[in-house]
Amino acid sequence: MNFKKPGIIIIILALNAKFLCALTLNESIELAIKNSPAINMADEGMVSKEYQKYGAKISKLGEITAIGNSMHYNYDRTLTPMVPPIKPPFPLSDDDITNIGVSYTLPIFTGFKLSKNISIASLNYEIAKAQSSLTKRQIEFNVYSIFLKGLSLKEQLKAKLEQEKALAELHKNVELGVKVGRYAAMDLKKVDYQYEMVKAQRQSIENNITVLKTALNQLTGMESEDWDFEPVDFKEKDFPSISELNLSELKKIALANREDVLITSKKKEISSLNYSKSKYSYFPDIAANYTYVRSIGGGGSVPLWNYGLILQWPIFDFGKRAMDMISQKYEYKIAQGAEIAQKLAVNHDVMEAYTNLQNQLAVYNAATKALSYAKDVKESENIKYEQNAGSMYDLLQSISQYYDALAQERGSYYSVFTSYKYLEFVVGRKL
């Protein structure tokens, strides 16, 4: 296809470049949820457990079995049993007999094991559903955290590039000053040394951004590392202030909403049901059965049917059931301990996330003040040096402190939002 106007080609290429290279935070999260193997596996596991739950429920309807066999005997056998009194006409007989039929067995009493199996299957489905939800929330937070870290590094890279530009401009001024005898030659070397240090720091930040892009690509399923982090329009009002958050209330919310708390609770219930099943193994199994068979041979066929009750009651198993019951009892105790440990871990997570948010807010407030102070110092040292009232060392130090403060302020800004998001994650719901 040929385009007569090159402008159209430029527009299309620009749009494609934006599509291929730009990725917003929400798009990153959507892609990760769509493409994550962990989420796909969790969803498939949930579907599997759902089918197992349905299978356990319909197992109480019993089972219909097809029956078939074909036998050759060394002498003729009757197609039907010989039932006294025996009198003509005698039943058909043959040395080749084929039996075809169907049997239906309906469980009547299984020592409560069937009902326990249904309950266990339902609990396993709830666990799988909770695991799927937890996996999605983990992926979402991981993408959020990596993306904000990328934005932070992008801001820091911008600061370093501005610092390089400022040092390059300073190099020109000092070089000119050295030529006219205003500045010492050593001052130029100090500028060059600082310039090389900043270049190395800038290169380190660029490498870290590349690593973050690789991690984000892995989560989102993208193949290119050339896309850029799109700015995010954050609003402080999207989160409550730290004074509005009550630590005790947050712990209660986390215990009520966290999927891992639900999972350990359901696992304890399953252990309890398995312990009950081990006790019920001493009860008999009773089932109703109806069987219809047609025997074929001797040039004809004869229908046979029967119905009745089947009783199975193990009398002695050399202590197997007793050992199983003891084992399930200890499994239940382990599940109880795991539930207690999980609740303690949740309380610790909330405390840690809450404290970290406080710390990040304090760091950000301090970084904001430090940036304002560093800016004033840089401007003051620049004026002093131009007036030969200050040293090159003090000027370079003020420039370095300013851009370091700028990078720290930007980094702490994004860290505050990441800390809020992490607190939401450990609490289990939006704040």
In the DSSP assignment, the letter for residue 230 is P
**Per-residue confidence (pLDDT) for residue 22, from 0 to 100:** 64
Which structural domain, as residue segments, surrounds residue 76? Answer: 6-427
**Per-residue confidence (pLDDT) for residue 127, from 0 to 100:** 96
Q: Are 293 and 100 in contact (CB under 8 A)?
A: yes
Q: Strands 93-109 and 22-23, how do they pair? A: unpaired
Give 251-278 pLDDT, tens digit per residue. 999 999 999 999 999 999 999 999 999 9
**Residues ≥6 apart with Cβ < 8 Å to 173:** none
Number of Cβ within 10 Å of residue 121's Cβ equals 20
Distance of CA 35 to the CA centre of its chain: 12
Longest dimension (CA), the chain: 141
Structurally, how many domains does the chain consist of? 1
For residue 44, give Cα distances in angstroms to 38, 59, 132, 273: 10, 23, 9, 25
CATH of residue 383: 1.20.1600.10
**Per-residue confidence (pLDDT) for residue 7, from 0 to 100:** 42
Residue 411 lies in a domain: yes
Residue 174 tokens read as 């000092």
* Lookup result for tokens 């609990």: 123
Q: What are phi and psi of 51, to 5 degrees?
A: -65, -35
Instruction: Round to whole Å and give the CA distance between 133 and 257.
Output: 11
**Per-residue confidence (pLDDT) for residue 6, from 0 to 100:** 41
Residue 1 lies in a domain: no
**Per-residue confidence (pLDDT) for residue 19, from 0 to 100:** 42
Segments of the chain scoring below 50 in pLDDT: 1-20
Residue 415 lies in a domain: yes
**Per-residue confidence (pLDDT) for residue 120, from 0 to 100:** 95
The sign of the dihedral angle between the CA atoms of 351, 354, 356, 362 is negative
Q: Concatenated DSSP letters for 266-290?
A: HHHHHHHHHHHHHHHTTS-EEEEEE
Q: What is the pTM of this model?
A: 0.81
**Per-residue confidence (pLDDT) for residue 83, from 0 to 100:** 75
Q: Are 426 and 353 in contact (CB under 8 A)?
A: yes
